[in-house]
Amino acid sequence: MSRQQRLVPISLADLEHNAHTTMDLNALDYYRSGANDMQTLRDNQDAFSRLRLRPRILRDVSKVDTQIKLLGHSVGSPICIAPTAMQRLAHDAGEKATARAASRAKKCMILSSWSTTNAEDTISAGREIPVDDQTPGLPLFWFQVYVYKDRAMTETLVRRVEKAGYKALVITVDTPFLGRRLADVRNVFKLPPHMSIANFETKDSKVTMANVLDQPDNKLEAAANQVLKNQGDNNAAQGNNTKVVRQESSLAAYVVSQIDPTLNWKDIEWIRSITKLPIVVKGVLTAEDAKLAADAGCNGILVSNHGGRQLDGVLATIDALPEVLDAVKGRNVEVYLDGGVRKGTDVLKALALGAKAVFLGRPVLWGLAHDGEEGVALTLNLIQQEFELAMALAGCRQVTDITRDLVQYGADGRSKL
Ligand SMILES: Cc1cc2nc3c(=O)[nH]c(=O)nc-3n(C[C@H](O)[C@H](O)[C@H](O)COP(=O)(O)O)c2cc1C
Ligand SMILES: O=C(O)C(=O)c1ccccc1
């Protein structure tokens, strides 16, 4: 989309349009990009359009109730906030604004471990909003964990967020390396130097990408070379002493230097052994892995392709959802979905197929860029209102009325049901 006029936003698409007209290109490209050809990015939304609704009529829908429980905690709606890194790139109030808007809307928020506000300050901001006796579990915050090479650091972070009041750990398992987002490579994406990866900040040192990566020793070079090597650029990465011949996204280099690509199911056991919090694995796309996750005692599965930012060409999440649900049928594990959820009818379709809840990634960032806390509140309210209207028009008074017979694939029948 080119730089056009701002709209008075009445849909999430309008908020995205406006972000495209106002945001700085380094941040906008980082937020909007998918990996490589961005096929999966597009498919996440397109796949929702391939599903058709089968509404029921004459069911008294004068009142619609969207309240549900997530891992035992009540929330006002099955629409939740996915973890997105570095929210201060969108607005100075960053994660605090998102936390306040989430609390106001009675929605669950997952905080990214690569946030620009630390876990304690973010949850405190959410708690500034007065609670409502009707939903005693609120505010509900979960914490997203990347497992770092430094296990002691990972463990310290887990203990900190448990103490701070986060109610589940969401382990992201689709990012042993960062997917290749071409715009970020071209822009040599960097976190601006005045922002920090706040969870790793100490009294004496601020962790910025610049000070982790632009250090005089060879760490950056080694990390960047590793990225290039992973991408098959042998020219750039023959041996440890080779100079970097091409610039890279700093984020990709940072990920290589910090995140542990050896991560495997044993590590999930390890996390289980260091915390009492429920564990959600984020990034499951197949029946095989869903079974393994249930076997490993995970409490939740977030069907996600990371918003099309990791492996390009995988299934749209709404297309992967049925096999995951089939695989864990009868097991004690909640299944959620993210990716391409932009409209109330998308939420209805995901729930009809069997998802317990859905998570929004980019739309929250577009709201944040629009107007900080008020902008995120607008994102959440717009899609909440659309969802309530879609429920009513489909004949659903409460979330348990949203059943599988409400959707079919395409206009020509129900072959995949
Ligand atoms: C800018 C951006 C940053 C993200 N950062 C993280 C992150 O730090 N951790 C994580 O697990 N997922 C991250 N994700 C993936 C989201 O949690 C989510 O899976 C995805 O955005 C959902 O798709 P949607 O943007 O189409 O709603 C990020 C996504 C975006 C767009
Ligand atoms: O940009 C992302 O999609 C992302 O998930 C991420 C991964 C590592 C560090 C920061 C963000």
- Buried b / exposed e over 244-268, threshold 16 CB at 10 Å, is beeebbbbbbbbbbbbeeebeeebb
CA angle 307, 167, 372 (to 5 degrees): 55
Annotated binding site for glyoxylate, which residues? 30, 146, 181, 306, 309
Q: Which two tokens stand for residue 112?
A: 């990214």
* 274 residue type, one letter: I
Pairing mode of beta strands 407-409, 51-53: antiparallel
Pairing mode of beta strands 68-70, 73-75: antiparallel
- Residues recognised as catalytic: 306
**ipTM value for the complex:** 0.99
- Of 206-215, 312-321, 372-381, the least confident: 206-215
Q: 85 alpha carbon to ligand 2 midpoint, in Å?
A: 6
Using the 8-state DSSP alphabet, how is residue 148 labeled?
Answer: B
Q: What is the pTM of this model?
A: 0.93
CA–CA separation, 189 and 168 (whole Å): 31
Annotated binding site for FMN, which residues? 83-85, 112, 144, 172, 282, 304, 338-342, 361-362
**pLDDT (tens digit per residue) in 168-226:** 999 999 999 999 999 999 999 988 889 999 999 877 777 776 665 554 434 555 555 56
CA–CA separation, 235 and 63 (whole Å): 64
Pairing mode of beta strands 169-172, 79-81: unpaired
Cβ neighbours of residue 238 closer than 8 Å, sequence gap 6 or more: none
What's the whole-number average pLDDT of the chain? 91
* 143 residue type, one letter: F
In this prediction, residue 216 carries a pLDDT of: 41
**What's the rounded mean pLDDT across residues 84-97?**
98
Q: 113 alpha carbon to ligand 1 midpoint, in Å?
A: 12
CA of 338, closest atom in ligand 1? 22
In this prediction, residue 285 carries a pLDDT of: 99
Among the bound ligands, the one closest to the CA of 337? 1
Q: 381 alpha carbon to ligand 2 midpoint, in Å?
A: 26
**pLDDT (tens digit per residue) in 43-72:** 999 999 999 999 999 999 999 999 999 999
| Confidence check: pLDDT of 153 > 80 | yes
**pLDDT (tens digit per residue) in 382-405:** 999 999 999 999 999 999 999 999
**What's the rounded mean pLDDT across residues 119-125?**
98
| 336 three-class SS | strand
**pLDDT (tens digit per residue) in 1-58:** 455 799 999 999 999 999 999 999 999 999 999 999 999 999 999 999 999 999 999 9
CA–CA separation, 324 and 172 (whole Å): 17
In this prediction, residue 135 carries a pLDDT of: 75
